Structure 1
Amino acid sequence: MADLPASLLAPATRRWTLASGALALLPLLLQLPPLLAGVFAVVAVITALASGPRVLPVPVRVLLVLGMLAAVYWQLGARPGRDTGCALLAAMLALKPSELRSLRDARSLLGFALFAPFAAFLLDQGPLTMGLAVLAALATLLTLQRLARAEGGAPNAPLRGQLRGVGRLLALGLPLALAAFWLFPRLSEPLWGLPERAVGKPGLSDSMDPSEWLDLMADDAPALRVTFFGAVPAPEQRYWRGPVMTHFDGRRWERDPYSDRRPPAPVTRAAPQWEYQIDYEPTDRRQLVALDLPLHAPAGAMLGADYSLRSTQSLSSLTRWRLQSAPAARYIEPLTTFQRQVALQLPPGFNPRTAALARQWRQDAGDNDAAIVSRALEWVRSTFAYTLSTEAPGRDSVDEFLFDQQAGYCQHFSSSFVVLMRNAGIPARVVTGFAGGQRNPYGGYFVVRRMDAHAWAEVWLPQRGWVRVDPTAAVAPERIYDTLEDRLGSGAGTTLEGRWLQLGQVGDFLRRGWNDLVLSFDANRQQQLLRPLGVDKLEPAQLIGIFIAFAGAALGWMAWLLARGERERDPLLRAWHRLGRRYARHDLAREPAETATDWAQRVHRQRPDPALISLSQRFVQARYAGAKLDPSLVRDLHRHRPSTGATS
């Protein structure tokens, strides 16, 4: 038997379907590269406008597919990853309106569109993505209601009634979903991992090339949020230590890959000691930061010989770390011969003018290493300028910076300073990380942004060990010409800018609350769920028992809500059924096949009740004969009680 032709979509229903699909696609587009998202959005709009009752020709669709695949390759390359898969999903959804003709096509489009907000969670789990996903789900449910009514030939209900129906569906599933989120036992380690992103988010890496740092420093997105417990370090002490670079090839600095295999050098600590918590934003890398110097590595991280922290897992999602740090008063053990060689390593034949100047300074200072360091800082203070507008470095990049340009940003200063020190025979290395942090007045925590990325130097001085030296900070204020704050706009200028800054702080405070409530809720926090009630830690059996209890209650709620069925929506029918239950308690229940009028007459014969006869006639007229509902009927049904045998 041939299939019946599918019903074509009405124009209004088609618009609802397209709008719901676009709303579902939006959170995914916001997580893709802007240019790629723009291409997909344009293709989706063109496809929706150009298609209708007729399907787009196959050659046109093939050209659009090839064009979007080329855009994906252009922006993300050939490397597979989470963002590549999400981009391909977005491309498919952008073309889906080209075959939107029937009710079946509309349901198919909406079903596929719901994958988009869930795919967006692979790239971002923030409140904006969640809010847009919820709106997309609500719009999809409303549209599916319209499709069901269109298929049955029923007129569309008012929007208020449609929203009530969607609310009923949410009330059915939300309690069980919340019970599963908060109480279903979580594993401390996932059974599987997500693939890396084809294009990683900016973050600290195991190498430093000045040409690669501007992308990181030009990003004002938060890199981490810090909450201090007790003393708060002064601004000049807020150096967030990351990867330490020791190997230099003339242009690029790289971290010692064997640092994690050696224990940290023993040090004596100075006061004060800081205890704090870091909420680290995703970077798809493993480099962590801590205040100089961390006392020990937290669970899930390793502390290298140079006191740099590294996570054992990729930081592809929000992570939380509890740390303690205290500055080093003195390194106990001297450098070994091998360590000194590593800290003095330089490529031969590079930067001859820097080498000649360092030899001259060494001859002038004798054995006084501290004097050479002071002389270099004084040179920076009196001559050099800070700017982001720098020329591309040549072969002898340090010579060009120190003697020709004499202007740059922190990577130029730290790299050139370390090369100068090494040429003078002073062990030195580059430390990368972040510097500073802005306090959020609403949450009392500090926000360190990616634009706070910084590089400084450490030199080895006799009787002290490794000492932090920040040559960038030595630049005189009057020679700071071009900063990131200038390029991105400072919130301290006009009143309008100040208000935007204040609004941004409120937004970040809300984002941190979302991170604290949802994203950082892991197995450890789940086990401490009842700590306010005096239960320090929930054992797995206890957690399973609590989950079963709450899940059972949620399922009972679902069963009760479903059992109400039509009665919940029709107050007249609900009042009539309540009336029937009152008579059932007197052994006068209505039989399943008995009409309302027959039942009332039977009751009247056994127990004279003219009022029941009248109510049954009014009910039948309102329910089945299409008569206008008298508001007093529902009230009279609620008030009526079975007679005691006498005529009522």
Structure 2
Amino acid sequence: MIESLPRPLRGACLTAAAACALPLLIQMPVWLIPVLIAVGALGAWSQKKWPTPLRVLVMIMIGGLVFAAFGFRIGRDTASAGLLAMLVLKPAETFSTRDARSLLGFSLFAPFTAFLQDQGPLTLALCVPAMLLMLMAWSLLVQDGAGLQLATLPRQLKQSGFALLIAAPMALAGFWLFPRLASPLWGLPQLSAKRMGLGDRMTPNEWLDVLVDDSPALRARFLGPAPPREQMYWRGPVLSRFDGEAWTRTSATAFAAPPVLRPDAATVRYEVMLEPTESRDLVLLDVPLGAPAESHLTRELSAVRDEPVNNLIRYVGESSPSARFEGSLNAIEMSSLLSLPTGRDPRLRARAVQWHAQTPDPLQLTERFLQWVRADFQYTLSAPPVGYHASDDFMFETRQGFCQHFSSAYVVFMRAAGIPARVVTGYAGGHYNRVGDYWLVYRKDAHAWAEIWIEGRGWVRVDPTAAVAPENILDTIDDLQAQQGLGPDMLQPMFDMSDMLRRGWNELVLGFDSVRQRNLLRPLGIRDAEAWQLVLAFAVGAALALGLTLWLLLREHKDRSDPLVQAWRAFAKRLGRAGIRKAPNEAPLSYGERVAALLPANADTVRRLSGRYCEWRYAGTELSATERQALIRELRRFRVGRTPPEQR
């Protein structure tokens, strides 16, 4: 027979399940969140189990919405949303003790899945109370809800909190000391789509979502003087191939050696904490002089990592903003960097040929192009769409756009003039956090600029977007935020403090990898710990953690009775070890008389002690502090030899 679930106990189980679902719920697409909440609330409000056809229909509907939310692609985020969708359906069938056990067991997967998506402090802050409520719900379920009253909830929460507390020492020992591998034993499934940010492709209008995304892309701390903000070009993927619609990477130089650079005296060293991107590209300040560990520089001076950036990583870079290039382009590179699709943008190409004939110097030709931009063009996120001849439409018709439009048109113009050129994507500028003394670069700082090749000098950066006259800059994301009352001066100190705390969390927790773990033993004189040393350290740490856990358990069960009661119990315990055991139902006076009969030499003392204790304990006799301490002292000091068996 299926045991029904009392309503208060069902409410406790549903509350615990909802708390477990919350850390994962807030990571869902905004429009999907109310749908999932509504389904879960209807199931919790129902008084009986939904019919099977209805549950199947709702499951199909929710599953379709989940797949639509993630572009009908399979990945870690899609699977996580699917798990959450199944969890919000469980309340509609939770009406028995067996159903409640299934619900609670299934709910435990939700916090774990939330950490697969985000390991930030908010996720942890939501998961801890969820585990607290989950332990309380399991405890009540084991007791079949016995004693479930509002007045007893604080005590039950305290017990659940203590259970979490005694698990903390071993968890911390495992986190800090358990030997970590440089890469996991299993592969972490990829997201269904790369995180918003830089990519291998650029077309007009494709970056609109990025330009309004104010989530962090990276944080950088300069190990010395910082360059001016206008010189902070954070270099990412370089796009050299153009098909008339999109700029993409070329594979011709993927494994070629990077160019030889001659840095100037003003080299810059900095530390970068890069947020997860699901791609292998790193971001370095232009012009990078080398690649961080576990990565390499391509021929285009893009840093590419050996593995995708699935978690927050930290690396040190060195750059020289005014470095000069040595050598020259080979025939393959020259052909690739001058290539343009046939039949595209005839007007812009004709003007490029005409102007180049009049102004053959690349830098002077660039200045003439930038003067054109200053005079007639406007920067706006609300750029009108362009057609088949994208650059012609932008340069001669709309004359409104953002960085992709300007950089793409400029590179097409220079290539048509016979000057090698390419598009560089990355980030520009950043926000200086005064509280933490570091630079925060948002995803909305994504930018595209251009580079042209000049013989004898190498690649020269040109940013056509920066040439737009200030009075022609119409709307940016900062303008939109200002219109909503979110100006940079209003809440910026609070945001800076909040981001500094997040950065501290990243350094302390998320940035703790195998390299930092090996350095933990440096205070002991071990510069680079080996595996056996880490195993030994973990064993010692685990032993200490277990000792602390045992101490907490013993402390929880410590006798907290009145000191006089404890002294009497110790008195009876010593007599028990001597052979005169007190029965559980034996009164103190009766026990004292029996002891006195068995110990004639101590009879008067035993009768006096048991009598005074009974007068205080049961007759309500008040004892002064001095009398109380004297009685406690006598009870604790009383000693007797072991009584022969024939006298017991």
TM-score normalised according to structure 2 size: 0.90
With 168-177 and 518-527 compared, the bigger mean Cα shift is at: 168-177
- CA contact under 8 A between 1:7 and 1:103: conserved in structure 2? yes
Number of aligned residues: 628
Residue type matched to 1:434 in 2?
A: Y
Look up the match of 2:499. Answer: 508
- CA contact under 8 A between 1:583 and 1:589: conserved in structure 2? no
Cα 1:578–1:112 change in 2 (3 A) is farther
Partner secondary structure for residue 498 of structure 1? coil
Look up the match of 2:199. Answer: 205
- Select which of 269, 272, 278 maps to 1:275: 269
Distance 1:636 1:100 in 2: 61
Superposition pairs of residues 475-624 of structure 1, within 5 angstroms: 475-489=468-482, 498-531=489-522, 535-562=526-553, 567-568=557-558, 571-572=560-561, 579-581=568-570, 588=578, 591=581, 597=587, 600-604=592-596, 605-606=598-599, 607-608=602-603, 609-610=606-607, 612-614=609-611
Partner secondary structure for residue 490 of structure 2? helix
Distance 1:536 1:13 in 2: 55
- CA contact under 8 A between 2:384 and 2:401: conserved in structure 1? no
Residue type matched to 1:588 in 2?
A: A
Cα 1:151–1:238 change in 2 (3 A) is same
Report the CA distance between 1:611 and its aligned residue. 5.1
Distance 1:515 1:509 in 2: 10
Partner secondary structure for residue 119 of structure 2? coil
TM-score normalised according to structure 1 size: 0.90
User: Deviations for 1:205-246, whole angstroms, at most 9, x for unmatched residues?
Assistant: 111112211111110100001111112111121000011111
Report the CA distance between 1:488 and its aligned residue. 3.2
Look up the match of 1:12. Answer: 8
Partner secondary structure for residue 429 of structure 1? strand
Cα 1:164–1:382 change in 2 (3 A) is same
Distance 1:232 1:158 in 2: 59
Cα 1:564–1:449 change in 2 (3 A) is closer
What are structure 2's unaligned runs of at least 5 residues?
A: 641-648
Distance 1:340 1:521 in 2: 44
Pairing 1:453–2:446 present = yes
Pairing 1:30–2:26 present = yes
User: Deviations for 1:283-319, whole angstroms, at most 9, x for unmatched residues?
Assistant: 1112211011222111121210111011111111111
- Select which of 363, 378, 390 maps to 2:371: 378
Partner secondary structure for residue 505 of structure 2? helix
Cα 1:295–1:540 change in 2 (3 A) is same
- Select which of 159, 165, 176 maps to 1:171: 165
- Select which of 301, 304, 309 maps to 2:303: 309
- CA contact under 8 A between 1:242 and 1:433: conserved in structure 2? yes
Question: How much identity, in percent, do the aligned residues show?
Answer: 43
Report the CA distance between 1:149 and its aligned residue. 4.4
Superposition pairs of residues 292-371 of structure 1, within 5 angstroms: 292-366=286-360, 368-371=361-364
Distance 2:290 2:592 in 1: 83
Pairing 1:437–2:430 present = yes
User: Deviations for 1:107-149, whole angstroms, at most 9, x for unmatched residues?
Assistant: 3322221211111111111111111011111122233333344
Residue type matched to 2:510 in 1?
A: L
With 596-605 and 269-278 compared, the bigger mean Cα shift is at: 596-605
Distance 2:113 2:25 in 1: 10
Report the CA distance between 1:330 and its aligned residue. 2.1
Distance 1:618 1:158 in 2: 34
Distance 2:628 2:131 in 1: 36
Cα 1:343–1:39 change in 2 (3 A) is same
Distance 1:230 1:116 in 2: 44
User: Deviations for 1:143-200, whole angstroms, at most 9, x for unmatched residues?
Assistant: 3333344445576763442233123212321101101100111111222221111133
Cα 1:361–1:104 change in 2 (3 A) is same
Report the CA distance between 1:579 and its aligned residue. 4.9
Distance 2:336 2:190 in 1: 33
Pairing 1:471–2:461 present = no
Pairing 1:128–2:126 present = no
Residue type matched to 2:26 in 1?
A: L
Cα 1:590–1:219 change in 2 (3 A) is farther
Pairing 1:183–2:183 present = no
Partner secondary structure for residue 561 of structure 2? helix
Report the CA distance between 1:325 and its aligned residue. 1.2
- CA contact under 8 A between 1:225 and 1:445: conserved in structure 2? yes
Superposition pairs of residues 147-296 of structure 1, within 5 angstroms: 147-152=141-146, 158-296=152-290
Distance 2:284 2:252 in 1: 20
- CA contact under 8 A between 2:378 and 2:400: conserved in structure 1? yes
